[in-house]
């Protein structure tokens, strides 16, 4: 049955046949809700009013807010997050997270056509890392069904919702048996709802310096990949599956595979044959990681995250709708 469905997809997509897709169906239902009317909500323009709940967290080189930008381009901003009772290992100020992120860029550059994430940097050329300590303890966080969504909502609540930034959160401790997840926050502001998705990496279980792998993997998901119109996507056997397919690849050795690999993390491919999600030419499947606005060098005809009409991130958009993506992001301007 799997082979039949896969062959059917390939025949449809490569035939160039025009067909209709319910883009709303291929969105998330599990976003963590956050409202701008929340009494603890901080507007992006007021981030510098944030204060430390734990005075011991206030150390040199640490910032609760996004520091002044050196470019107005689309970029990736990094957040270091702790539970209320986490030991502070100071990954944000001792260079640990910066090394992880730079390793991720080194990996991407070697596996793509020389592209990497455009990072949010300080005036001194260092990685801009913001700090969050949430009010829940580690055990309570571990019992939350959508821990990554909770983290994303906590970040939005503190003013991390710049429409030109993609956010990556590094949680210092364990979360269930996960290494990385997409954190979906359904943000209800004065301009209607928009889904704010963030990549979340959990550093408490696996070797810390291998964390560049889930960091890159989850950000690629946050950008909308793997689109479900790619021929190698994974069929979902779960009878309760909403989509019937997953936004992962069916086969091994790719960073977006769901089948594991014997390759070292630095050796895994980014769409090796250019037929799935990077530098591809699939008809009726226009989203292409190579064209992402968050990669540099940036393509002239760059793309933003694919949005459904409700401004959720859609995993199936046959024809990229740039204006819709811009209109959705405009909801964050208030």
Tens-digit pLDDT profile for residues 58-106: 999 999 999 999 999 999 999 999 999 999 999 999 999 999 999 999 9
209 φ, ψ to 5°?
A: -75, -10
Q: What is the pLDDT of residue 24?
A: 97
Residue 34, pLDDT > 50, answer yes
**Under DSSP, is residue 257 helix (H, G, I), strand (E, B) or coil?**
strand
Position 46 pLDDT exceeds 80 = yes
Inter-helix orientation angle 96-111/212-222, to 10°: 60
- Say whether pTM exceeds 0.85: yes
Please determine, for residue 176, whether its predicted confidence score (pLDDT) is greater than 80: yes
> Going by C-beta distance under 8 Å and a sequence separation of 6 or more, which residues neighbour residue 1?
none
3-class SS of residue 184? strand
Residue 19 — pLDDT band, cuts 50, 70, 90?
low
Note the pLDDT tens digit of each residue in 264-293. Answer: 999 999 999 999 999 999 999 999 999 999
Query: Which residues face 224 on adjacent strands?
Result: none
Write out the two tokens for 11: 């025949």
- Locus of tokens 């591809």: 280
Predicted local confidence at residue 259, as pLDDT:
84
Q: Which domain holds residue 70?
A: 2-332
pLDDT of residue 120: 99
**209: Cα separation from own chain's centroid:** 19
Is residue 170 within 8 A of residue 76, CB to CB? The reply is: no
pLDDT value at residue 238: 80
Quick check: 13 pLDDT over 80?
Answer: no
Could you tell me where the beta strands, DSSP code E, fall in the chain? 32-35, 75-82, 116-117, 129-133, 165-171, 180-189, 192-202, 233-235, 245-249, 295-296
pLDDT band of residue 37 (cuts 50, 70, 90) is very high
Provide CB contacts within 8 A for 278, sequence distance 6+: 112, 270, 271, 288, 289, 290
Residues 140-162 pLDDT 10s:
999 999 999 999 999 999 999 99
Q: Is the pLDDT assigned to residue 14 strictly greater than 70?
A: no
What pLDDT does 17 receive?
Answer: 55
Residues 6+ apart with CB under 8 A from 226: 220, 232, 233, 247, 248, 249, 256, 276, 277, 315
pLDDT-above-70 percentage for the chain: 94
pLDDT at 12 over 90: no
- Please report the sign of the dihedral spanned by the C-alpha atoms of residue 94, residue 97, residue 101, residue 104: positive
Residue 166, pLDDT above cutoff 90: yes
Mean of pLDDT over the chain: 94
Q: Give tens-digit pLDDT for 299-311.
A: 999 999 999 999 9
Burial class (CB in 10 A: 0-12, 13-18, 19+), 220: buried
Considering its fold, how many domains does the chain have in total? 1
pLDDT of residue 7: 39
pLDDT over 90 at 107, yes or no? yes
Q: Which residues make Cβ contacts (< 8 Å) with residue 95, sequence separation at least 6?
A: none
Is the pLDDT reported for residue 3 higher than 90? no
């Amino acid at each position: 049955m799997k082979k039949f469905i896969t062959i059917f997809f390939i025949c449809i997509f490569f035939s160039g046949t025009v067909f209709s897709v319910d883009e709303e169906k291929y969105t998330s239902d599990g976003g963590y809700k956050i409202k701008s009317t929340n009494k603890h909500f901080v507007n992006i323009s007021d981030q510098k009013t944030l204060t430390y709940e734990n005075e011991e967290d206030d150390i040199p080189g640490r910032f609760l807010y996004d520091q002044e930008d050196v470019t107005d381009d689309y970029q990736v901003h990094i957040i270091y997050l702790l539970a209320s009772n986490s030991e502070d290992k100071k990954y944000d100020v001792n260079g640990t997270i910066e090394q992880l992120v730079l390793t991720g860029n080194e990996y991407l550059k070697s596996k793509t056509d020389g592209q990497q994430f455009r990072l949010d940097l300080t005036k001194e050329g260092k990685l801009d890392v913001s700090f969050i300590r949430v009010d829940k303890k580690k055990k309570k966080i571990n019992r939350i069904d959508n821990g990554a969504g909770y983290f994303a909502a906590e970040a939005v609540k503190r003013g991390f919702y710049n429409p030109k930034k993609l956010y990556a959160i590094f949680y210092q401790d364990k979360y269930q048996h996960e290494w990385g997840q997409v954190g979906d926050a359904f943000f209800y502001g004065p301009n209607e709802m928009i889904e704010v998705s963030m990549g979340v990496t959990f550093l408490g279980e696996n070797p810390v310096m291998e964390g560049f792998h889930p960091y890159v993997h989850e950000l690629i998901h946050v950008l909308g990949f793997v689109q479900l119109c790619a021929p190698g996507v994974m069929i979902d056997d779960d009878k309760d599956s909403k989509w019937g397919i997953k936004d992962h690849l069916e086969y091994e050795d790719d960073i977006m595979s769901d089948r594991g690999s014997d390759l070292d993390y630095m050796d895994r491919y980014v769409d090796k044959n250019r037929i799935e999600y990077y530098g591809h030419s699939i008809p009726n499947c226009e989203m292409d990681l190579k064209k992402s606005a968050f990669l540099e060098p940036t393509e002239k005809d760059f793309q933003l995250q694919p949005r459904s009409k409700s401004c959720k991130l859609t995993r199936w958009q046959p024809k990229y709708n740039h204006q819709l993506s811009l209109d959705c992001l405009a909801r964050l301007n208030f």
